[in-house]
């Protein structure tokens, strides 16, 4: 029995899917658990700056080059009064936060978040409450954030110390309104009507904004994809994106099936695209709706612990999944799936960024560290900018509990024309054998291998802690390039980043 399998790929610079919108490497911060308090904001921390932002966390976020961060929720936004989080801190009310049954102090709010996003070089993706509120609160909110001055809400922002408008471009019209768990849950008809009227009012205040309508909370919702169709019947001409959310877990401890779950994500994306295009055809519209995959990740490790949380506490540890090596592999496959759909997925948010189902973890008053999933996210964000190419792939396949014909080789290819760089991201899903990949790259004449990064570990359940980083990448990957043929050896169960660059003589 041989210890390796063989696969082939042809990569050509003319086989283009689309330019990649850098915002597919976005993330998410919700007022949930320790994402804000003890995560990005901890005024008493030894590394806090003058705004109370943790410098150590900001450095880890900047390293990731996160282009956009969604805020303030999530489920939390559906009962949130944005006015509670602006103005003098001592006058801000404490509220019962119903989505996660905690106390929200409102010590951190919109202006603080906008300042923090500037510090980490990210745009803000702001959500409005369409659960307990609607048109009026949304139009006031965008006036406060984006209007230059001379009106009640814009002058209030100035009074709060922010002379210049925030110029927030991307706005979400609520969150997961199809979910019965949502405060103010609506039928698709109710949501579609409210969303379109809110969108019209917001655009009157600022015509330059982009808007995201709520899609289904996941593809197993009983109303999927009818929710998308009905919602878009109402909102099609007023919105730019529809959202998708999905989380995966390995509850049965079936790794082969777990690593195939990105195929479900692929199917979800294709179904939403076809639903959008059906409404486009039905309306005889010239406009194309793109996708905002604004919540995606692995989430299941913390489910039991979260059932034991004492209600009505302030920023308790919630949704603090400790990620292992196999989680990093699936996150890699999910990033590859987003790249394969770069023609329609223009925004995506790894949910979330710090402490709450996150690549970055912290101790209150103490250290911060990188979880296993940090690394595929880092590599994709750093090297996945440019044009997504369509490789022609021949790979051995396997069947798992829920999937058939799962390719062992899962690749995405990015061509950065400006830098004359070619990057191949590849996961080998085989748990016991390496994969010998022959790759035809003859259209990239004069290119050489810069590095072959590998994330691998013999223990699929290995995790990182504040003390020990057991799962981290190395650059000793095995690949050679001769006469336009790249030979790469992908070790069993591994995430690989093979970078090529043109030699300028």
Tell me the catalytic residues: 176, 295
Whole-Å CA distances, 430 to 67, 212, 332, 490: 33, 38, 14, 10
Pairwise CA distance, residues 160 & 421, whole Å:
46
Partners of residue 48 on adjacent β-strands: 54
Task: Confirm if 438 and 486 have CB atoms less than 8 A apart.
Answer: yes
Structural Rg of the chain based on CA atoms: 23
Q: What angle do helix axes 262-283 and 226-235 make, rounded to 10 degrees?
A: 40
CB within 8 Å of 151: residues ≥ 6 apart: 143
Could you tell me the two tokens for 426? 């590849």
Name the phi and psi angles at 388, rounded to 5: -80, 125
Contacts of 350 (CB under 8 A, 6+ apart): 25, 26, 27, 28, 296, 297, 331, 359, 373, 377
How far is residue 144 from each of residues 110, 151, 162, 169, measured CA to CA in Å?
Answer: 10, 9, 10, 14
- Number of Cβ within 10 Å of residue 357's Cβ equals 27
Contact partners, residue 505, CB within 8 Å, separation at least 6: none
Pairing of strands 170-173, 210-213: parallel
Q: CA nearest 293: which of 235, 224, 353, 214?
A: 214
Q: Which helix (H) or strand (E) holds 159?
A: helix 152-159
Is 251 in a helix, a strand, or coil? Answer: coil
**Given 3-state DSSP classes, what are the helix, strand and coil percentages for the chain, each rounded to the nearest 5?**
30, 30, 45
């Amino acid at each position: 029995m041989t210890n390796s399998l063989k696969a082939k790929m042809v990569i050509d610079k003319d086989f283009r899917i689309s330019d990649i919108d850098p915002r597919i490497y976005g993330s998410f911060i919700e007022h949930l658990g320790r994402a804000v308090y003890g995560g990005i904001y901890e005024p008493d921390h030894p590394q806090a700056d003058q705004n109370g932002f943790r410098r150590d966390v900001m450095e880890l976020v900047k390293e990731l080059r996160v282009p956009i961060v969604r805020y303030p929720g999530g489920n939390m936004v559906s009962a949130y009064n944005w006015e509670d989080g602006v103005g003098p801190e001592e006058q801000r009310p404490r509220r019962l936060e119903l989505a996660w049954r905690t106390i929200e102090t409102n010590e951190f709010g919109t202006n603080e978040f906008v300042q923090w996003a500037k510090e980490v070089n990210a745009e803000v993706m702001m959500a409005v409450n369409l659960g307990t509120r609607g048109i009026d609160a949304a139009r006031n909110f965008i006036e406060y954030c984006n209007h230059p001055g001379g009106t009640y809400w814009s002058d209030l922002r100035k009074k709060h110390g922010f002379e210049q408008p925030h110029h927030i471009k991307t706005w979400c019209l609520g969150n997961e309104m199809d979910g019965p768990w949502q405060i103010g849950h609506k039928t698709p008809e109710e949501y579609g009507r409210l969303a379109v009227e809110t969108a019209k009012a917001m655009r009157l205040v600022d015509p330059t904004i982009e808007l995201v309508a709520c899609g289904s909370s996941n593809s197993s919702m009983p109303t999927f994809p009818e929710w998308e169709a009905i919602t878009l019947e109402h909102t099609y001409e007023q919105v730019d994106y529809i959202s998708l959310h999905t989380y995966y877990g390995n509850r049965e401890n079936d790794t082969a099936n777990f690593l195939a779950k990105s195929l479900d994500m692929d199917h979800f994306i294709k179904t939403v695209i076809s639903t959008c295009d059906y409404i486009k055809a039905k309306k005889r519209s010239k406009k194309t709706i793109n996708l905002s995959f604004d919540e995606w990740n692995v989430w299941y490790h913390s489910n039991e612990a979260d059932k034991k949380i004492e209600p009505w506490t302030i920023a308790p540890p919630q949704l603090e999944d400790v990620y292992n090596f196999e989680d990093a592999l699936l996150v890699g496959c999910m990033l590859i799936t987003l790249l394969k759909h770069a023609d329609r997925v223009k925004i995506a948010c790894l949910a979330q960024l710090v402490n709450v189902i996150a690549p970055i973890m912290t101790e209150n008053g103490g250290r911060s560290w990188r979880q296993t999933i940090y690394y595929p996210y880092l590599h994709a964000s750093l090297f996945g900018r440019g044009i997504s190419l369509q490789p022609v792939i021949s790979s051995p396949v396997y069947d798992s509990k829920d999937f058939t014909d799962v390719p062992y080789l899962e690749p995405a290819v990015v061509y950065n024309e400006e830098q004359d760089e070619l990057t191949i991201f590849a996961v080998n899903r085989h748990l016991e054998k390496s994969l010998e990949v022959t790759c035809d790259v003859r259209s990239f004449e004069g290119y050489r291998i810069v590095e072959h990064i590998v994330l691998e570990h013999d223990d699929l359940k290995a995790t990182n802690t504040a003390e020990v980083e057991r799962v981290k990448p190395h650059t000793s990957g095995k690949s050679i390039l001769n006469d336009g043929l790249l030979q790469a050896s992908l070790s069993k169960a591994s995430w690989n980043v093979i970078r090529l660059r043109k030699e300028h003589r």
